[in-house]
Amino acid sequence: MNTIELQQAIKEYAESIGIDKIGFTTAAPFRELKNRLVRQQELGYQSGFEEKDLDKRTEPALLLDQAESIIAIAIAYPSRMENSPRGKKGERRGIFCRASWGTDYHTVLRARLRLLEAFIIEHVPTARVKSMVDTGELSDRAVAERAGIGWSAKNCSIITPEFGSYVYLGEMITNIPFEPDEPMEDECGDCTLCLDACPTGALIVGGQLDATRCIAFLTQTKTTIPEEFRDKIGNRVYGCDTCQTICPKNRKKHNLHQEVFKPDPELAKPLLQPILSLSNRQFKERFGEVSGSWRGKNPIQRNAIIALAHFKEEAAVPELVGMLQNDPRPVMRGTIAWALGKIGTEEGFVAMEKSLVTEDDSDVRIELEKALDGWKKKQLSKYQPIIEDVLKWRYMLHYLSR
Ligand code: SF4
Ligand code: SF4
Domains (ranges, CATH) in the chain? Answer: 3-80+100-174 (no CATH), 313-402 (1.25.10.10)
End-to-end distance of the chain based on CA atoms, in angstroms? 113
Average pLDDT over residues 228-240: 98
> CA-to-CA distance for 344 and 379, rounded, in angstroms?
11
68 with 176: CB under 8 angstroms?
Answer: yes
Asked whether residue 389 carries a pLDDT value surpassing 90, the answer given is no
Per-residue model confidence (pLDDT) at position 398: 74
More confident residue, 388 or 94: 94
DSSP secondary structure of 256-298: ---GGG---HHHHS-BSHHHHT--HHHHHHHHTTSGGGTT-HH
**Which of 174-188, 201-215, 290-304 is the least confident region?**
201-215
Which pLDDT does position 140 carry in this prediction?
96
pLDDT cut 90: percent of the chain above it: 85
Note whether 156 and 129 are within 8 A (CB).
no
CA of 248 relative to ligand 2 center, distance in Å = 7
Distance 193 CA to ligand 2 centre (A): 6
Of the pLDDT bands very low, low, confident and very high (cuts 50, 70, 90), residue 173 is very high
pLDDT value of position 46: 81
In which band, very low, low, confident or very high, does the pLDDT at 45 lie, cut at 50, 70 and 90?
A: confident
Reply yes or no on whether 134 is catalytic. yes
Given this model, what pLDDT does residue 124 score?
97
Q: Can you name the residues that pair with 76 across neighbouring β-strands? A: 167
Is the predicted pLDDT of residue 286 greater than 90, yes or no?
yes
154 lines ligand 2 (CB under 6 A): yes
For residues 101 and 244, is the Cβ–Cβ distance under 8 A? no
Burial class (CB in 10 A: 0-12, 13-18, 19+), 168: buried
User: What is the pLDDT at residue 19?
Assistant: 98
CA of 72 to the centre of ligand 1 (A): 25
Mean pLDDT along residues 144-168: 97
Atom 1 of ligand 1: nearest residue by CA position: 198
Q: What is the pLDDT of residues 195-212, one digit of tens each?
A: 999 999 999 877 789 999
- Containing H/E element for 383? helix 362-400
Q: What is the mean pLDDT of the chain?
A: 94
Amino acid at 244: Q
For residues 308 and 92, the answer to whether their CB atoms sit within 8 Å is yes
The tens digit of pLDDT for each residue in 67-107 reads 999 999 999 999 999 989 999 999 999 999 999 999 999 99
Ligand 1 midpoint to CA 33 (Å):
21
Which ligand is nearest to the Cα of residue 202, counting in written order? 1
Mean pLDDT for the stretch of residues 12-16: 98
Q: What is the pLDDT of residue 40?
A: 84
CB neighbours of residue 239 within 10 Å? 21
Q: Compute the distance between CA of residue 125 and CA of residue 136 in angstroms, rounded to an integer.
A: 24
Partners of residue 159 on adjacent β-strands: 151
**Closest atom of ligand 1 to CA, residue 194:** 8
Pocket perturbation via mutation, ligand 1, pick of 98, 214, 230 by most ligand atoms within 8 A of CB: 214
Give Cβ neighbours of residue 266 (< 8 Å, ≥ 6 apart): 85
How far, in Å, CA of 177 to CA of 163, rounded? Answer: 28
Instruction: Determine what percent of the chain is predicted with pLDDT higher than 70.
Output: 100
Q: What is the pLDDT of residue 376?
A: 87
CA pair distance 166, 302, nearest whole angstrom: 27
Q: How confident is the model at residue 238 (pLDDT cuts 50, 70, 90)?
A: very high
Tens digit of each residue's pLDDT (9 = 90 or more) over 311-365:
999 999 999 999 999 999 999 999 999 999 999 999 999 999 999 999 999 999 9
Mean pLDDT across 111-127: 97
- What mean pLDDT comes out for the span 27-47? 88
Above 80 in pLDDT, residue 191? yes
Verdict on whether the full-model pTM lies above 0.85: yes
Active-site annotation holder among 20, 53, 134, 241: 134
Residues 394 and 203: their CA atoms lie apart, in Å, by: 57
E strand or H helix that includes residue 398: helix 362-400
- Atom of ligand 2 minimally distant from the CA of 250: 3
Nearest one of 370, 242, 368, 234 to 313, comparing CA atoms: 234
What whole-number distance in Å separates Cα of residue 62 and Cα of residue 48?
A: 22
The CA distance from 194 to 160, in Å, is 16
The residue to mutate among 158, 184, 193, having the most atoms of ligand 2 within 8 angstroms of its beta carbon, is 193
State the pLDDT at residue 402: 67
Which numbered ligand comes closest to the C-alpha of 194? 2
